[in-house]
């Protein structure tokens, strides 16, 4: 079998044994390079479609509960279904963190980002296609509209950094780090998103994902304070990578104190 785990997709380790069990051989180039990107695109499209729909059709006064549950459950399910192909990132910040801790080969980082952004665009476009115009307009296409003035910027950026750190930590420690990973990682990651949205949705919208922000922003043409949803999550990916490499990672991952 191809050695791909939830959150981990390393080309160097992706080998299959020969039929005689004696010599490992490289898997087909499609399974190494193309299929993981396709899984990221498809998974991102499904996840972001469900997330956008949950915001656009949230007409019953449930507040953040409906989007929180839908985003969390959709993410957990897509990771469970497609995670063994690509690692189930669906988020450029997660891919950045996974690469920094050794869970993703460097040559796949940019293709993953492109796939995730394209998946976000597809998901957001389908969300627009299947929703009523009035609901879509009222929700600004599920783009992030929580930040309304410069006075909110500092709080929003810090909130995005901290919440995304929690999410990337759940992925890296729950699905990549040898000492702490477990079979329930997909749903732990999904529930992390649910908790983040319930806790910080009123501060920044709790995006935690540049792909989730980009798709709806492009389809709805809503770009107010859009940079926050890139800077916060990507900084978080860098911080988690450093935290695990220096302090929390297993012996294979840590740089010092081995």
Q: Which of 1, 183, 176, 3 is nearest to 80 (CA)?
A: 183
pLDDT of residue 19 exceeding 90:
no
Indicate the pLDDT class of residue 13, thresholds 50, 70 and 90: very low
What is the pLDDT at residue 98? 97
User: Would you say how long the chain is, in residues?
Assistant: 258
Global pTM value: 0.90
Indicate the pLDDT class of residue 59, thresholds 50, 70 and 90: confident
Which residues, in sequence order, are bridge partners of residue 104? 9
What is the pLDDT at residue 81? 96
What is the pLDDT at residue 258? 75
What is the pLDDT at residue 26? 79
DSSP secondary structure string for all residues of 24-52:
EEPPPHIIIIIHHHHHHHHHHHHHHHHHH
Average pLDDT over residues 129-145: 95
CATH code, residues 11-248:
1.20.1080.10
Average pLDDT over residues 7-32: 61
Between 32 and 8, name the one with better pLDDT: 32
Which pLDDT tens digit goes with each residue over 195-248? 999 999 999 999 999 999 999 999 999 999 999 999 999 999 999 999 999 999
What is the pLDDT at residue 14? 46
């Amino acid at each position: 079998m191809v050695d791909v785990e939830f959150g981990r997709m390393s080309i160097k380790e992706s080998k299959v044994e020969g039929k005689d069990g004696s010599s490992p051989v490289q898997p087909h180039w499609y399974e190494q390079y193309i299929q993981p990107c396709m899984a990221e695109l498809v998974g991102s499209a499904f996840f972001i479609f469900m997330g956008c729909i949950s915001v656009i059709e949230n007409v019953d006064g449930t507040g953040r509960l409906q989007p929180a549950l839908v985003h969390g459950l959709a993410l957990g399910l897509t990771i469970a279904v497609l995670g063994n192909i690509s690692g189930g990132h669906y988020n450029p910040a997660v891919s950045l963190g996974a690469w920094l801790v050794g869970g993703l080969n460097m040559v796949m980082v940019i293709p993953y980002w492109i796939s995730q952004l394209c998946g976000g665009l597809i998901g957001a476009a389908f969300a627009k296609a299947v929703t009523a115009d009035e609901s879509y307009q009222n929700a600004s296409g599920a783009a992030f509209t929580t930040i309304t003035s410069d006075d909110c910027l500092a709080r929003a950026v810090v909130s995005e950094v901290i919440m995304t750190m929690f999410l990337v930590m759940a992925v890296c420690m729950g699905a990549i780090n040898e000492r702490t990973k477990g079979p329930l990682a997909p749903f732990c990651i999904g529930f992390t998103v649910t908790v983040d949205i319930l806790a910080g949705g009123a501060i920044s919208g709790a995006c935690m994902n540049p792909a989730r922000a980009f798709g709806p922003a492009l389809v709805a043409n809503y770009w107010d304070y859009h940079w926050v949803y890139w800077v916060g999550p990507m900084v978080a990916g860098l911080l988690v990578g450093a935290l695990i490499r220096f302090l929390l990672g297993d012996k294979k991952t840590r740089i010092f104190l081995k």
